[in-house]
C-alpha cells in the first residue's frame, strides 16, 4: 500500500469516527429538546394561560400574578382563539417549546449548543471524507446522506442566527437527522472509492451541491407544513367551541400560529424553488457534456421534472385564493414526497444513467 493510499484510508476512518461522534452528540441534543418540551408542558405560566383560554368565564378575568424565580411576575390574560376573517386568524404565536418555563428554556439553549457542536463534528466528517477520496463527497448515497443532514442542520442554525422563530423545529430536525445518519451508516455505507467517469466534471460541484441544498430547505418547509396542518386543525376545533385533548393542547399551544407556520413554509419553498429550477438546468447541461444529450427522460431526470411541476403547482395554488391553506399544504407534502422518491426510490429501486447509489 502506498503512502497516499494509507493516508486516504486513515482519513476515511477518521471520517467514520466523526460521523458516529456527531450521532452521539445529536442524541444528547435530542434528549435536551425532549426536556425542553417536557418542562414546557409543566410550566405554571403555560398551564395558567391554557386554563384562562379554555374557560369562557375568564374572558373578563384580570391579569394573573404567579411566582417566578423567588419573586412574582404578572401574566396577562391571553387572547381567546378566534378567526378574524375568512382565511385569516387573529392568533398570537405560542411561547415556544419551553412554554415560558425557565428550566425548559435552559434545556432548549443547551440543545441548541449541542446541535451546533454536532453540526461542526459532522461537517468535519464530511470534509475528511472528501479528503479521503480527493473529490467532492457526493459520489454515492452514503456521502449524499451525510452531506444532506449536515446542510439541513446548517439551514436550521442559519435561521436561528437570523433571529427567526424556529427553535420549535429542533426536536423534529434532530429526530430526522438521527434517522438519516443511522440509515447512512447501516444500509447505505460505501467504502471510499473513485467516481465513475461520467461524474468527473466541475458540474458535480455545481449541480449536486445545489440539489443537496434544495433538498435540505424543502425538508424544513415540509416539517413546517406538517405542523401547520396539526395547528390548523387545533385552531379550527377551538374556534368551533371544541375542547382538544390535553396532549394536543400542551404541544400545539406552544407552536407558532397556523397562519405563521403556513407563511413560513410558503416562504421557504418559494425562496428555494428558483434554485431547484437552476439545479435541473445545470443537470441538463452536465448531461449534454457527459452523454451528448441534454435530456433523455432518464428516471432521475423524469422525477426531477415531476418534483419541479409539483412545487410549481403548490406555489401557484398558494397564490390562488381558492387553494390557500390546507389544500395547498397537501400539495406541498406531495411535492416533497416526489423529492424523497426521486432520491431514495429512484436511486435504490430504478436503474438508469444516474444509478450511482453504491448500495
* pLDDT at residue 20, rounded to an integer: 95
Residue 276 near residue 213, CB atoms below 8 Å: no
Cell of 297: 427522460
* pLDDT at residue 75, rounded to an integer: 47
The C-alpha atoms of residue 171 and residue 30 are separated, in whole angstroms, by 6
DSSP conformation class of 342: I
Cα distances (angstroms) measured from residue 323 to each of 46, 248, 309, 319:
34, 26, 16, 8
* pLDDT at residue 195, rounded to an integer: 65
* SS3 of the chain: helix, strand, coil, percent, to 5: 70, 5, 25
- Return the axis-axis angle of helices 299-318 and 326-340, rounded to nearest 10°: 170
Residue 209 near residue 138, CB atoms below 8 Å: yes
| HEC letters along 178-208 | HHHHHHHHHCCCCCCCCCCHHHCCCHHHHHH
The pLDDT profile of the chain, 359 residues, written as one tens digit per residue, is 566 666 778 888 999 999 999 999 999 999 999 999 988 876 644 555 544 444 444 444 344 444 455 555 554 444 433 333 344 444 567 788 888 888 888 999 999 999 999 999 999 999 999 988 888 888 788 988 999 999 999 999 999 999 888 999 999 999 999 999 999 999 888 877 666 666 677 888 888 899 999 999 999 999 999 999 999 999 888 888 888 888 888 888 888 989 899 999 999 999 999 999 999 999 889 888 877 778 888 888 889 999 999 999 999 888 876 777 888 999 999 999 999 998 888 877 776 555 554 55
* pLDDT at residue 59, rounded to an integer: 42
Residue 358 near residue 351, CB atoms below 8 Å: no
Helices and strands in the chain: count of H runs, count of E runs? 12, 4
Cell of 259: 397562519
The C-alpha atoms of residue 87 and residue 116 are separated, in whole angstroms, by 38
DSSP conformation class of 75: E
Residue 64 near residue 75, CB atoms below 8 Å: yes
The contacts of residue 198 (CB under 8 Å, 6+ apart) are 290, 291, 353
* Residue of 92, 343, 89 lying closest to 233 (CA atoms): 89
* pLDDT at residue 35, rounded to an integer: 92
Residue 324 near residue 225, CB atoms below 8 Å: no
The torsion angles phi and psi of 226, rounded to 5 degrees, stand at -60, -45
Amino acid at each position: 500500500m502506498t503512502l497516499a493510499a494509507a493516508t486516504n484510508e486513515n482519513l476515511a476512518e477518521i471520517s467514520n469516527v466523526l460521523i458516529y461522534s456527531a450521532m452521539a452528540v445529536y442524541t444528547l441534543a435530542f434528549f435536551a429538546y425532549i426536556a425542553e418540551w417536557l418542562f414546557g408542558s409543566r410550566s405554571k405560566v403555560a398551564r395558567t394561560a391554557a386554563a384562562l383560554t379554555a374557560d369562557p368565564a375568564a374572558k373578563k378575568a384580570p391579569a394573573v400574578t404567579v411566582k417566578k424565580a423567588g419573586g412574582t411576575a404578572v401574566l396577562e390574560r391571553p387572547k381567546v382563539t378566534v378567526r378574524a376573517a375568512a382565511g385569516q386568524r387573529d392568533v398570537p404565536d405560542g411561547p415556544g417549546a419551553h412554554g415560558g418555563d425557565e428550566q425548559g428554556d435552559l434545556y432548549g439553549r443547551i440543545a441548541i449548543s449541542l446541535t451546533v457542536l454536532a453540526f461542526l463534528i459532522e461537517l468535519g466528517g464530511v470534509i475528511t471524507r472528501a479528503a479521503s477520496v480527493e473529490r467532492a463527497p457526493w459520489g454515492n448515497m452514503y456521502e449524499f446522506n451525510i452531506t444532506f443532514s449536515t446542510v439541513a442542520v446548517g439551514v436550521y442554525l442559519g435561521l436561528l442566527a437570523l433571529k427567526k422563530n424556529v427553535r420549535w423545529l429542533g426536536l423534529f430536525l434532530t429526530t430526522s437527522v438521527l434517522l438519516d445518519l443511522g440509515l447512512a451508516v447501516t444500509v447505505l455505507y460505501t467504502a471510499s472509492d473513485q467516481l465513475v467517469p461520467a461524474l468527473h466534471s466541475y458540474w458535480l460541484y455545481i449541480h449536486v451541491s445545489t440539489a443537496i441544498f434544495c433538498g435540505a430547505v424543502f425538508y424544513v418547509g415540509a416539517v413546517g407544513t406538517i405542523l401547520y396542518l396539526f395547528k390548523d386543525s387545533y385552531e379550527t376545533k377551538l374556534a368551533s367551541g371544541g375542547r382538544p385533548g390535553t396532549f394536543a393542547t400542551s404541544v400545539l399551544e406552544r407552536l407558532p400560529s397556523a397562519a405563521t407556520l403556513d407563511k413560513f413554509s410558503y416562504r421557504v419553498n418559494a425562496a428555494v424553488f428558483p434554485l431547484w429550477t437552476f439545479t435541473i438546468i445545470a443537470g441538463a447541461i452536465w448531461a449534454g457534456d457527459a452523454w451528448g444529450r441534454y435530456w433523455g427522460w432518464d428516471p432521475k431526470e423524469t422525477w426531477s421534472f415531476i418534483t419541479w411541476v409539483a412545487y410549481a403547482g403548490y406555489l401557484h395554488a398558494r397564490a390562488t385564493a381558492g387553494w390557500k391553506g390546507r389544500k395547498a399544504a397537501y400539495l406541498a407534502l406531495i411535492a416533497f414526497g416526489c423529492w424523497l422518491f426521486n432520491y431514495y426510490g429512484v436511486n435504490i429501486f430504478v436503474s438508469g444513467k444516474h444509478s450511482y447509489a453504491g448500495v
